[in-house]
Structure 1
Amino acid sequence: MWKSNQEGFPTTQQSFQPDPAYDKVRWNGDISGEGDTNTKEEVSAKAFYAGTNDTSRGFLRKMVTLALSHSPEVRSSEADVLAAGYYVDQTKGQRWPQVQLGLSTPLSAQSNSGGSNRNNSSISDTSGSVSITTPIYDWGRIGSQIDSAEEGVTAAVNAQGYTKEQLAYSTISELMNLGRYQESRKVARSYVERMQQLTNMLAQIAEADQGRASEFTQAKAKLLSARASLDDIEHQVSSSRIKLVRLLGVEPNLPENISWQGAMMPASMALAALNKNPNLLKLQAQAKAATYEAESVAASGMPQLNWVVSKDTRKDVNGDETGWYTGLNVQWNAFSGGSQKAAQMSALAKANGAQQQYEVAYRDLEYQINSMIQTRDSSFTRANDFDRLSVETERVKNMFYDQWYNLGTRTLLDVLTAENDHFNNQLSAINNRYDGYISNINVISSAAMLLKWVGD
């Protein structure tokens, strides 16, 4: 149907409306009707961008600027924009008179009965020609090509904007991961030191009381486990620094007092900005460009009217040069074996494909924003839970230690388990909190507002 009927293509839709069903399925932190929900309050644009000049936001702005200047991906996108602009100039040039110059040098010629080649048979009879062709009427062929090329520029510019947004997200999220791992390393080092203290204590006790050698073995096992956890975190720190060197070109150092507590972007603000997302705008421009290309191909199948001026210095049988010629010329590809129609339908199919890609991208971004907001809010909820739990497990481990060391009512295994539980709760609080930070940055990036948020 598409090959024979242009109306078979769906109508291009340039925008969609957010699906309100997501608002009904996101969990807001209410458990078993207890209340105390964690739904983020709607903030104004002014409140969201507040703090652009604070120290932490300034550091992020500096890092993003460094990444943008270092990135070969950004330079590649700049070259694409430049190429698209030159293609517009190339297409517009078709509207100007097209001047063709020629030179003809005969090496030999056989005279016919009329002797028409008498003056065009040797190198000395070299002649030149000039032809000037100016399009008069082409059914909008060149105009459609120009519109298609200009949409290509729009697509390239938005592709560049999308590249910058993604680079900013990669940079900031990796800086946050580095902050996560450094904070986790402090906790892990404290845990290793605590396990080392208990192991040293048990070593002395085991020397005096051989019956407690098993406790010394248990303490050594926990110490080795703590060191393994620290080694894993050290590996994560190094991996994060390697990624940042790739992004920035230098090894960054996080400020000691950096704060990741940025404004929490609500779903309504993020979804409202989707129609300005550069990736969606790029797909829209690609669909329009393909549509204009189809119109240009269709126009090329119609008679083309040109104004022609020409001159040839070749001499006739009498030795005279031909005079100047000027007039109107009509050209028409009356039959092309169906290739012209196929090219038109191919362009329409590309336009339809770009439209479908736009819809897929929109739905994916809408899902991603809602999913990340759910992850962000629930991560902060769990982080608060683990913070409170860590306070309690710290009291438990201290009580267990006193009961084991002073009263003998607890075993060493109880003490080691309490220490391990407290360590794991601290890590869980850190990880969930940073998951929330990164999810919030992901929401801002999906709304294509991250560069504006950091003030770049």
Structure 2
Amino acid sequence: MPRFTHLLAPLRGAVVAWIMVLAAGTAGANCPDDAPLPTRSAPPEQARTELRTLVRHAIDHSPQAGVTRLLAEAALDDTAEARAARAPQASLNASVGPSLSRSAGHTDSSAAHGGVSLNVSQLLWDGGRTDRLVDWRDRLADAARFGDLSNREALALSTVSLALERSRFRQQVLVYGQYVRKMQCLAGALEQIVAADRGRLSELVQVRKSLQQAELSRTQTESQLRQVEVRLRRLVGDTLPGADDWSTLLSAVPDVTGLQVEALRSAEIAQLDASAAAAQQFARSVEASHQPRVSWTGGANAASGFGGTIGTNHSKGLSFGLAISIPLIDQGIAAASAAAKKRAQAAVLQREEALQARRTRIAEVHEQTTSSFDRAQRVGAVLRDSERLRDFTLQQWQQLGRRSLFDVMAAESDHYGLRISLVNALHDGQQMNAILLSLGRGVQEWLQ
């Protein structure tokens, strides 16, 4: 039999090679192809309705939204209080107890003395100070109302951004899951090859290493997804939206010129406008505070005393007339007026600064949005070439010798890395679009 060993060696090598070809072929035939991500694209109107509902839940669920709403209502009450200063005022006073008085060396006493008085007055003229205070409170109420709208807009943007971030990580998990399954399939094929040829063991170790790295990436992304869902639940409650894809709503980049115009309509700029107007009205009220005050007054009083040196005594009185108050010397009025005017000017400049910063931010984010979608388009083109390259590399590896396993794994890693880059580029563009809408007319108005 030993004399036939040299005849069996080539046969054994052919069998091993045939097993390796079958295993490599099985790797290409049985490994799952990259199926489209199983997300359902909702129709635009349905997606808009779902997002609008999600934002409404966030606003209803937010304590901060309740805070700004109550502050806006309190500002309206302050305005009503300031306006009531022009209405008639009435007060009732009463007193009871013993009394003692001394006049011109004569002392009078009463064991029990009681009195009651009714005073009525109404401001007639004060140089416009009260009207300016009412206007000041009215503008502050507008600022509080716009502050409430601005807070709601920020909450809406956070909700939409978190929903898109959740969609990003959901799709990344799916991509990494496909990558894991691909590496598992290659590892299975290599196990068959190594069983026939122990010299290929290093390739199996390399595949298992790539498999572990893919599983690690998937696990980390799943953790990031859970963290985003925790933050989203804090905003909207425990009920999270389904797996619908809302990206169609935010795929078109708005015109930057229109956004610059819409920035004037934003709640934040309107709040600063109202604050500046309030500061101007307050400065005018301070200027008017040194004007004379004229009001009419009326009063009625009755008093009774019993015992003591006076004995029983009853008195009544009635009065009506005008009360005039003329400020003569107030050393601080000039400084107070100058300070109020400077604060009003500062509020105007603050509004201008905020508007310029907002318009600069719009231009910057618009460029980032355009760049993100352009990057997504270019990555998509590279991804198509990557798909062809990985197919060719896998086929050549199956032919044993024309490509190494390391080439196959490099092609797979590059392909799935590009798919992750595509997901990121698309979601970056969508989130930047949401920010652009918020900087312009607002996400809430757009959702309407």
Structure 2 length normalisation: TM-score? 0.84
Q: Is the CA contact (8 Å cut-off) linking 2:101 and 2:107 kept in structure 1?
A: no
Q: Deviations over 1:152-187 (max 9, x none)?
A: 121112112212222211111211111111111111
Aligned to 2:57: 66
Equivalent position to 2:72, from 81, 94, 100:
81
How far has the Cα of 1:311 moved from its partner?
2.8
Is 1:447 matched up with 2:436? Answer: no
* 1:86-105 matches, cutoff 5 A: 86-105=77-96
Aligned to 2:292: 303
Q: Is the CA contact (8 Å cut-off) linking 1:52 and 1:58 kept in structure 2?
A: no
Aligned to 2:13: none
Aligned to 2:328: 334
Q: Is the CA contact (8 Å cut-off) linking 2:48 and 2:249 kept in structure 1?
A: no
Q: Deviations over 1:423-447 (max 9, x none)?
A: 1111111101111111111111111
- Structure 1 or 2: more helix by fraction: 2
How far has the Cα of 1:91 moved from its partner?
0.6
* 1:154-169 matches, cutoff 5 A: 154-169=142-157
Count of equivalent residues:
401
* 1:374-413 matches, cutoff 5 A: 374-413=367-406
Aligned to 2:213: 225
Amino acid across the alignment from 1:70: H
Q: Deviations over 1:392-412 (max 9, x none)?
A: 112112221222232312222
How far has the Cα of 1:113 moved from its partner?
4.0
Q: Is the CA contact (8 Å cut-off) linking 1:156 and 1:282 kept in structure 2?
A: yes
Q: Is the CA contact (8 Å cut-off) linking 2:44 and 2:248 kept in structure 1?
A: no
Aligned to 2:171: 183
Q: Is the CA contact (8 Å cut-off) linking 1:55 and 1:258 kept in structure 2?
A: no
Instruction: Provide structure 2 residue ranges, at least 5 long, that are not aligned to the other structure.
Output: 1-41
Aligned to 1:284: 273
Amino acid across the alignment from 1:71: S
Aligned to 1:17: none
Distance across 2 between alignment mates of 1:257 and 1:109: 88
What is the identity percentage for the equivalent residue pairs of Structure 1 and Structure 2? 27
How far has the Cα of 1:348 moved from its partner?
2.3
How far has the Cα of 1:52 moved from its partner?
9.7
Instruction: Provide structure 1 residue ranges, at least 5 long, that are not aligned to the other structure.
Output: 1-50
Q: Is the CA contact (8 Å cut-off) linking 2:93 and 2:117 kept in structure 1?
A: yes
Q: Is the CA contact (8 Å cut-off) linking 1:199 and 1:220 kept in structure 2?
A: yes
* Superposition RMSD in Å: 2.2
Distance across 1 between alignment mates of 2:249 and 2:122: 64
SS of the residue corresponding to residue 211 of structure 1 reads helix
Is 1:368 matched up with 2:361? Answer: yes
Q: Is the CA contact (8 Å cut-off) linking 1:404 and 1:415 kept in structure 2?
A: yes
Select the structure of larger CA radius of gyration.
2
Q: Is the CA contact (8 Å cut-off) linking 1:215 and 1:412 kept in structure 2?
A: yes
Q: Is the CA contact (8 Å cut-off) linking 1:174 and 1:240 kept in structure 2?
A: yes
Q: Is the CA contact (8 Å cut-off) linking 2:247 and 2:430 kept in structure 1?
A: no
Aligned to 1:140: 128
SS of the residue corresponding to residue 313 of structure 1 reads strand
Aligned to 1:273: 262
Distance across 2 between alignment mates of 1:261 and 1:108: 83
Amino acid across the alignment from 1:303: P
Q: 1:209 to 1:52 in 2, by over 3 A?
A: closer
Aligned to 2:193: 205
Q: Is the CA contact (8 Å cut-off) linking 1:198 and 1:219 kept in structure 2?
A: yes
Q: Is the CA contact (8 Å cut-off) linking 2:286 and 2:337 kept in structure 1?
A: yes
